[in-house]
Amino acid sequence: MTDSQESTGAQVVMRRLLAEGVDVCFANPGTSEMHFVAALDTAPGMRPVLCLFEGVATGAADGYARIAGRPAATLLHLGPGMANGLANLHNARRAHSPVVNIVGDHATNHKALDAPLESDIDALGTWLHGAVHRPESAADLDAAVRDAVRDAVGPLGKVATVILPADFSWGPAEVPAAEVEPSEQSDSSETIDVTAAAELLRAHGDKVVILLGGTATGASGVSAAARIHAATGARTLVETFPARLARGRGIPPLDRLQYLGEVATQQLAGATHLILAGTRKPVWFFAYPGKPSELAPEDAQVHTLAPADLEKLADALGAVAPEPAEPDPLPAPTGPLTVQNWPLVIGALLPENAIISDEANTSGVLLPAATASSPPHDVLTLTGGAIGQGLPVAVGAAVAAPDRPVIALQADGSAAYTISALWTMAREQLDVTVVILNNRSYAILQMELQRVGTAATGERSRSLLDIGNPNIDFAAIAQGFGVPATRATTAEELAAQFAAAVEEPGPHLIDAVLSRVP
């Protein structure tokens, strides 16, 4: 640390981030961020993680927040750099992940000139429904960073952006270092109504659906929901794309509300009451011709319960934990890899205390059943629907939890969006095993083409959903980015390669080539 006389604005930003507990920065810097980069040399507590693309940096910050429970910073290069990171910030917003973007901007006297990289950074922050802080002077920097971290962390996590003009960054600090004190964290608890919920459940039993999301999908929330179900018959479901879901042996395997609205509607059919814990009223992911947009029955009453109250509610109902099901030994699958058998391989071999970054998409429909009796683990899902999230989220999760194995189950089409995340895994020697579910197609769109009711049968339209021409060799690409890789075409090969990959520290990739006709 230098003293205040010698400090730059960038050093003030760095110190305030550290004082607020933000000590990891996923970075893709440019010229306007060079002073922030330089300030790293005076801040040994800050861990910089270099990413080759901003979408990797922002997705990594999302994954970090979901596992660490606190925000990382990103370092982004003006508006275009933030634009490159925007889709995964959209996912972070939907996950309610706290993220603090430090976005460099032109020096204040340079803004009006409309230099090539000039753009409206504030508008991008606003697009994310996040908090945007543009300090008016160097003296505002400390407060801007403090407020941004507070905005990010509570009561509901959000994406907060600090716009850092280059001249404030290189100029002298206007806050002495001694004044930088950790601020108080916001309280993230919400109002509760345990008594009313208990009455409702006693009165309506299996006509009640409890939908869990946000912080309610940890082991305690899921277990409490299972107890409530056992005591009252209420249906319990997890939102379609939870930010972080506890699963595995000893944790009740609650069903998720399905992505396909047709199925989700059935899951909610007949409900007269919907209790939302950490999530909001479910809607169809897309609209389809002639279909409704809401998933719950029209006349169902909707209630909101604080996630922290789930256990109290279970206690109030006198609910006891159901007998945990004895884990069935999973059959060891054999033969060509298919959408049916690959999840069984992963389920059987999942290491203890793993984190799954799940962007398997259509290839992953059978994964929940296959991992229900695996060792306890956390699953991070595609919260905002903007694909290309899985590999970056795995980077962030591995940085947040270096002692836990991270398994990225990744559809091929989505993998191509942010494939350079592999390089950061290699550089940081992160313990991530990537399994590419390689079906050589945008399979979800082949399904969607039918669902939206089109009569497309032509070669030209179908060709836009086929990414098998040419086939992508993900093992070659991984090796190009410095990640050891293999290729599996049978269940036996996948099992051998997966076991070896999780055994050895550091990143590995398995290109799991699925047979087109299972």
Cis peptide leading into residue 329 (ω within 30°): no
Is the bond leading into 392 cis (omega within 30 degrees of zero)?
Answer: no
Provide, rounded to whole angstroms, the least separation between the CB of residue 429 and a second copy.
10
Report the distance separating Cα 131 and Cα 148, nearest Å.
Answer: 7
SS3 of residue 386 by DSSP:
coil
Asked if 26 is part of the footprint of a second copy (rule: CB under 8 A), the reply reads no
CB 54 within 8 A of CB 393: no
Is there binding between residue 1 and a second copy (CB under 8 A)? no
Between residues 162 and 478, which has the closer beta carbon with respect to a second copy?
478
364 binds a second copy (CB under 8 A): no
CB of 299 to a second copy, least distance (A): 18
Residue 86 beta carbon to a second copy: minimum distance, rounded to whole angstroms: 4
Site for a second copy in 162-181 (CB under 8 A): 166-167, 170-171
Pairwise CA distance, residues 391 & 75, whole Å:
19
The Cα-based distances of 7 to 22, 39, 147 in angstroms read: 19, 9, 21
Interface residues for a second copy in 41-100 (CB under 8 A)?
41, 44, 48, 50, 52-53, 55, 79-81, 83-84, 86-87, 90, 94
Return the half-sphere exposure (C-beta side, CA atoms, 13 A cut-off) of residue 288: 17
Size of the site for a second copy (CB under 8 A): 102
Interface with a second copy includes 496 (CB under 8 A)?
no
Which CB atom, from 369 or from 452, has the smaller least distance to a second copy? 452
Residue 243 CB, shortest distance to a second copy, in Å, is 12
Q: Is 127 in the site for a second copy (CB under 8 A)?
A: yes
Distances (CA, A) of 310 to 226, 377, 427: 10, 21, 42
Judged by CB under 8 A, the chain residues 426 through 455 that form the site for a second copy are 426-427, 444-445, 448-449, 451-455
Nearer to a second copy, 345 or 472 (CB): 472
Nearer to a second copy (CB atom), residue 274 or residue 477: 477
Contact positions with a second copy (CB under 8 A) in 321-360: none
Query: 190 vs 159, 306, 328, CA distance in Å?
Result: 20, 6, 39
Please give the sequence-ordered ranges of beta strands (E in DSSP) within 257-373, or none if there are none: 273-277, 301-305, 355-359
The three-state secondary structure class of 85 is helix
Part in contact with a second copy (CB under 8 A); list of ranges 303-311, 353-361, 379-387, 495-503? 379-387
499 binds a second copy (CB under 8 A): no
